[in-house]
Amino acid sequence: MEEKAKQLLDWSQWGCQWIDQLRKQKTLNRELERHLHKFEESFTKIGRQATRMGKAEAKEILPALIAQAEQVQEQFHHFLRLAQLTEDERFEEPIAAHEEPGEREAAQGATEAHEATPAQMNQAALPPAALYQPVRETAREPVRVARPVPPGRHTLPPLPYAPNALEPYIDEQTMRIHHEKLHQKYVDDLNTAEKKLVEARQSGNYELIRHWERELAFNGAGHYLHTLFWPSMSPQGGGAPTGELAEAIERYFGSFDAFRQQFSQAAGKVEGPGWAILVWSPRAHHLEILTAEKHQNLAQWDTVPLLVLDVWEHAYFLKYQNKRDHYVENWWNIVHWSYVQERFQQARKLRWEPF
């Protein structure tokens, strides 16, 4: 029970820190700021309750407190998605003509969550239990968006933990620069490329198509890989995987130690900036370790990334300077294996004819 209460406190601190960051990044109108203040009160209140909870009452109070945190989390992620859009985008975002059944309802639900009063948001029904795992597993992980992202509307996902949560392995300053500056730049440049390509399709002028396609590939790959990278780490990470993922690693690589050694060597020897990536190959029906230089280069198509490691210098240079191998070795202490396991379970369902 003490560990669950501590994780609730960590979650509360993460929420408050993300609110501070949002206020620094963007000027919010009065209505958004009102909602933000309400969320801040909820995060703080839950954190205080978790701190003051005695051992005797934890068994009785903690389940209700976790349920409340799950509700706040879901609403907060809807809010973040809307808050990062401009005023015109928020109220004029088009509904695609090819929407799948249920997407219109999901979009309407997100809008209603934004327009609801704080009292209505506090009284919203909890999501079905089957769709929501306990807060100890998912409270600091982004909620998946149910509708397509229109061209030029990508947003920066929040960190699933506090910026200093991975210390001493990755320092707070590096995390802030990496997430708030560099990942945001990938998002901004991806949005620009998508908008420019929309303009090209509308005008029929493809004079700069090669440039914008390169920008689309580079920044899109950077955005998606970083979106995988953040939840691939956890303050409670490290150790070794278990279950089906552990069995698959041992079956293909021979042992976890052999896998870890190959992954570390691959990450340390990527030429220039790049990534080491554990993937599932739906055609070969086994795991594989790949490296990617400059995101889009040397990456295999038709594979599903499961675990990624950023070995661009900005990910480690402030703390480790040119000692990339030290960074790679310490990184193993924060690998979030339950997240990798979840991706693996979904990816292994893809089975196509092997060649």
Q: What would the pLDDT profile of 22-74 be if each residue is shown by its tens digit? A: 777 667 777 777 888 888 888 888 888 877 776 666 667 777 888 888 778 77
Contact 282, 351 (CB under 8 A): yes
Percentage of the chain lying above the pLDDT 90 cut: 43
Predicted pLDDT at 46? 82
Residue 200, amino acid: A
pLDDT surpasses 80 at 121: no
Find which of 50-59, 82-91, 197-206, 220-229 is predicted with most confidence, using mean pLDDT: 197-206
Question: What one-character-per-residue DSSP string does 173-228 give?
Answer: HHHHIIIIIIIHHHHHHHHHHHHHHHHHHHH---TTHHHHHHHHHHHHHHHHHHHH
Strand order in the sheet with 274-281: 286-293, 274-281, 304-310
Q: In b/e form, how buried is each residue of 177-196, taking b as 16+ CB within 10 angstroms?
A: bbbbebbeebbebbbebbeb
Residue 294: pLDDT band by 50, 70, 90 thresholds?
Answer: confident
Q: What is the mean pLDDT of residues 15-20?
A: 77
pLDDT band at residue 316 using 50, 70 and 90 as cut-offs: very high
Q: Is the pTM of this model over 0.85?
A: no
Bridge pairing between strands 304-310 and 274-281 = antiparallel
Helix then strand count (H, E) for the chain reads 15, 3
| pLDDT bucket at 353, cuts 50 / 70 / 90 | low
Over its C-alpha atoms, the chain yields an Rg (Å, rounded) of 21
